[in-house]
């Protein structure tokens, strides 16, 4: 999974979804849209992206891995987008 996370600097392309599914169908992805963002499992990402794209009022900006390896804890932690400070790591 780390190899896939490093590809595209953590951004996920449609072509990568099947590879991620094979490794862990519950891997969390961060989907950013023009109106907000949400986290979902990779098994559901196509469904939710289609819903957003079909709404005609919204569009998907990008999809990223929601967890990143942390040297501090030695395990993946949830990455949270802070309003003005960029990415923060949290153990929540």
pLDDT tens track, the chain, 92 positions: 778 887 788 889 999 999 999 999 999 999 999 999 999 999 999 999 999 999 888 999 999 998 765 555 455 555 444 333 444 444 44
Helix (H) or strand (E) holding 1: none
Instruction: Say what the pLDDT of residue 71 is.
Output: 53
- Domain span including residue 75: 2-90
The structural domain count of the chain equals 1
Cβ-based neighbours of 2, under 8 Å, separated by 6 or more: 69
Contact between residue 5 and residue 23 where contact means Cβ atoms under 8 Å apart: no
Total-model pTM: 0.73
What is the Cα–Cα distance from 51 to 86, expressed in whole angstroms?
27
Helical ranges in 1-91 per DSSP H: 2-6, 17-23, 42-54
């Amino acid at each position: 999974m780390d190899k896939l996370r490093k590809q595209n600097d953590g951004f996920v392309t449609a072509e990568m979804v099947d590879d991620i599914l094979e490794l862990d169908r519950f891997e969390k992805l961060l989907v950013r849209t023009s109106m907000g963002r949400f986290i979902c499992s990779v098994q559901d990402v196509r469904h939710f992206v289609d819903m957003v794209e079909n709404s005609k009022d919204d569009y998907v900006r990008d999809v990223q891995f929601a967890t990143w390896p942390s040297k501090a804890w030695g395990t993946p932690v949830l990455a949270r987008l802070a309003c003005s400070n960029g990415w923060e790591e949290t153990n929540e």
